[in-house]
Structure 1
Amino acid sequence: MFDTMTFTKIVGSLCGALLIFLLGKWAAETLYHVGGKHGEEVAVYVIEVEGGEAEEEVVAEVNFDTLLETADAGKGERVYGKCRACHKLEAGENAAGPYLYNVVGRDVGVADGFNYSGALNEVADVWTVENLYYFLEDPRGWAPGTSMGFAGLNKSEDRANLIAYLATFSE
């Protein structure tokens, strides 16, 4: 039924269709990307709107007393699971990071037996609730040069719950 010439025509037509598809894809990318460069977005047409000036982002003031009153130490214990890989809660038990026993209200960089990078001492003197809150949000942004590799906690509730949990391990 099929001879070699028919099979060759079928394979040739499939290869030709694939070639046409790939050339069409290349042409479409060239047309729709400015100059064929990826990653650079240039607005071809800008629609002007009245009052289109960018408004400044309003930064909400955080009331730490209210935040800690509503914080749940039980939920903070679950959040602490992210810290457990590098920190311990027992006094004097350092791991990859310093121990966190009595950290709320403790001087910065004084955990016995831990070698700090020095970046924290330049930013703060004491681990107040405010300092812990902003440090846990973005450690490298708050204390540039810190050796802490954690990316931070995005949710303010998680940070407050974690601080409430750590406060239960204070003297």
Structure 2
Amino acid sequence: AAGLFGAWLILLLGKFAAEEVYQRGAHGEPGYVVEVASAEASAPAENAVDFTEVMASADPAAGEKVFRKCSACHKIVDGENAVGPYLHGVVGRKVDAAAGYAYSGALEKVVDVWTPENLSHFLEKPAAFAPGTKMGFAGLSKIEDRANVIAYLESLGN
């Protein structure tokens, strides 16, 4: 027992000595300041790609290949819902218009109609675009992939 109490006493005295030697906030003003560029200023300017230009050159056949990722949860047959709502005629459709599908309500707070631009923003990162959405997909980071998928969905008709 004496050894245990002795070790505990040494621990407490060591802690007390360390706090006295290394006091936080008691060092005064810094001798010199190293200036660092902010992250915003040092970040390279991204080449902003115009979505309408990418959409104009989109390839529906390539979009059909990318759509395979989506087909795990979505069907393209009109009225046939799966884990997600059917996507036949989705381009230009009201966001909560798939009959028989129970939406979370998160999309209705962000947009009204699925324009190609709205679809692109949503497909980039669904959870960031509409927080609370039921769609658990991580997203399509390449703008070309998003444009191709949208062109494919558009080619299916309304």
In the TM superposition, what is the alpha-carbon distance from 1:133 to its structure 2 partner?
A: 0.2
Letter in 1 for 2:37: G
Q: Distance in 2 between matches of 1:68 and 1:92?
A: 27
**CA–CA distance in structure 2, aligned partners of residues 108 and 56 of structure 1:** 39
Matched to 2:61, the amino acid is G
**Larger RCO: Structure 1 or Structure 2 (Cα < 8 Å, ≥ 6 residues apart)?**
2
How many pairs were matched up? 124
Q: Which residue of 2 aligns with 1:33?
A: none
What TM-score comes out, normalization by structure 1 length? Answer: 0.67
Deviation at 1:60, TM superposition (A): 5.0
Q: Which of 154, 158, 162 is the equivalent residue of 2:141?
A: 154
Deviation of the 1:93 alpha carbon: 0.4
SS of 1:122's equivalent in the other structure is coil
TM-score, normalization: structure 2? 0.72
Identify unmatched segments of 5+ residues in structure 1. Answer: 1-46
Other structure's SS at 1:102 match = coil
1:52 corresponds to 2:44: no
What's the CA shift for 1:63? 2.5
For 1:106 and 1:56, locate their aligned partners in 2 and report how far apart those are by CA, in whole Å: 41
- Could you tell me which residue of structure 2 aligns to residue 165 of structure 1? 152
Q: Which amino acid aligns with 2:64?
A: E
**By how many angstroms is 1:48 displaced?**
4.7
Is 1:85 paired with 2:76?
A: no
- What is the aligned partner in structure 1 of residue 104 from structure 2? 117
Code of the residue aligned with 1:126 in structure 2: it is V
> What RMSD in Å do the two structures reach over aligned CA positions?
1.9
Supply the distance in 2 between the matched residues of 1:48 and 1:74 (Cα, whole angstroms).
54
Partner residue, 1:95: 82
Matched residue type, 1:140:
A
List gaps (5 residues or longer) in structure 2: 1-32
1:135 aligned to 2:122? yes
Percentage of identical aligned residues = 53
How far off is 1:61 after superposition? Answer: 4.4
CA deviations on 1:44-88 (whole Å, 9 max, x unpaired) are: xxx957x73431754654423211111111110000000001000
